[in-house]
Amino acid sequence: MTTNTDNVRIFDTTLRDGEQSPGCSMSPQQKLVMARALAELGVDIIETGFPASSQSDREAMALIAREIRSPTLAVLSRCLPGDIEASLRTLEAAARPRLHLFLSTSPLHRDHKLRMTREQVLESVDRHVRLGRASVDDVEFSPEDATRTEEDFLAEVVKIAIAAGATTINLPDTVGFTTPEEIRGMFSRLIATVPGARDVVFSTHCHNDLGLAVANSLAAIEGGARQVEGSINGIGERAGNCAIEELVMALKVRNAFYRLDTRVDTRRIVPTSQLLQRLVGMPVQRNKAIVGANAFAHESGIHQHGMLRHSGTYEIMRPQDVGWPDTQMVLGRHSGRAAVEARLRALGYLLEEDELKLVFEQFKALCEKQRVVNDSDLQTLMQDASVSQGYRLASMTISDVGGRANALVELSDPEGKRVSETAQGNGPVDALFGALSSATGVQMTLDSYQVHSVGIGTDARGEASLSVRAEGVEYEGTGTAADIIEASALAWLDVANRLLRQRQASPARSETAAA
């Protein structure tokens, strides 16, 4: 084993340190769901918990060990025989077990937390690493609060741990105290001078109290660390841990500088982040790097114009590479005409110069009243500008007869004529979509469908969103109304009208689709 490797190992502690973030506790079953996602993401090590601390952590490890066989599974243990025994029992079912031992080493912790001398700390490290290594081949040792430990003593601790059989040495910045220059030098000096250091993997575990967790982790890599410990979305104690998604993408985007990579499937980053948000109920801020809603969103007219010419002008990575479907052009008061025209074109509107000028003036006026202009707002502007809106909902009736739902819809077609159709389905929405399809002649395959409430009390409205495939293209539609069934109809028509406008704008495509 050597620290000179082309890859940096990702040690994910979302289920252990991350779960210690206030309000982020997970049940054993939730931990299993998250562990599956982490395995699919491609992390090398999953730290499942602290077995000696709770029955819940022991149950979680048992569930995870039975199913997750590829990543190494680690558990945390204090340097206490009882802790080690509890940890070893949970590791018995793991295909690739790792015992992660820790003991505080800084003067502050030695004097006030442990009440131990230097000699007692060294003796404990030696005895407990040997005890763990007698039962498992993969032992990681962490001198807690390493970055506030005297470096000569830290070197002694690391030397003892390696001699006792530790295969990974983790140097934690437990309270987020260090700086990139300091941690880079610490790793570089210890790896160069401690006997046996080049035969083990050095790891970094940085907290974000000063907002430097990712920067410090990258600096540790420059100093020779080849394992990084962190969590999805950076969750963890106090201000959290190194955010795995940021660290991974920094190595990938700046590969020419670091010349190192990870095994992570970056396309799984956003789905994994969103899963964790649902499990613990802690959303990330919109401007969060990589996984925040604004990470690939652009409102500035200058930026949007550049993006329309070449995405590299204002994006250093593709949104699809981390799991987002696409770049978002957010329309607001800072947006320019090029962005508005591009969005209208995507909605199926191909406007003449005078039409575009009128709509853009109305768009700018609307921006003085609201922060963001969405697709439904643009479609309203099209109506005000006398641009054809396609099919519009006049009325609908939903009934249940003999266990089957019936839907009757009446629409106003693009020429203003009334058309009505009925259909049956397994439920009201299924019947509704069938009737709309018959009335418009548009066939779509539904991929996903969601409804939720917007607003509260008497102002609450239903919003429906759906994702469909039609003529080999994916579309998304939204609708808002007082009733969720009506909102669903408007969402369906949103897509149908867009598709019909695109057919009209491209006769060749229409003929091909008809064939």
Type of residue found at 44 = D
348: which DSSP letter? T
Taking the C-alpha atoms of residue 481 and residue 370, their distance in angstroms, rounded to an integer, is: 19
Token pair for 427: 């439920």
Classified as helix, coil or strand, 347 is coil
Task: Extract the annotated binding site for Mn(2+).
Answer: 17, 205, 207, 241
H or E, element range at 454: strand 445-454
Contact 229, 242 (CB under 8 A): yes
Taking the C-alpha atoms of residue 56 and residue 59, their distance in angstroms, rounded to an integer, is: 5
Residue with tokens 């003929």: 511
Classified as helix, coil or strand, 194 is coil
Task: Extract the annotated binding site.
Answer: 17, 205, 207, 241
Taking the C-alpha atoms of residue 139 and residue 403, their distance in angstroms, rounded to an integer, is: 61
Taking the C-alpha atoms of residue 216 and residue 207, their distance in angstroms, rounded to an integer, is: 9
Q: How far is CA 466 from the centre of its chain?
A: 21
Contact 29, 63 (CB under 8 A): yes
Who contacts 308 (Cβ-Cβ below 8 Å, separation ≥6)?
A: 338, 339, 342
Q: Where are the alpha helices (DSSP H) in 368-427?
A: 375-384
Q: CA dist 157 to 112, 118, 149, 190, Å? A: 19, 9, 10, 11
Taking the C-alpha atoms of residue 355 and residue 214, their distance in angstroms, rounded to an integer, is: 49
CB atoms within 10 A of CB 320: 14
Q: Which long-range contacts (CB under 8 A, 24 or more apart) does 87-94 make?
A: 87/51, 87/52, 88/132, 88/135, 88/136, 89/51, 89/58, 90/51, 90/58, 90/61, 90/62, 90/65, 91/61, 91/65, 91/136, 93/62, 93/65, 93/66, 94/61, 94/65
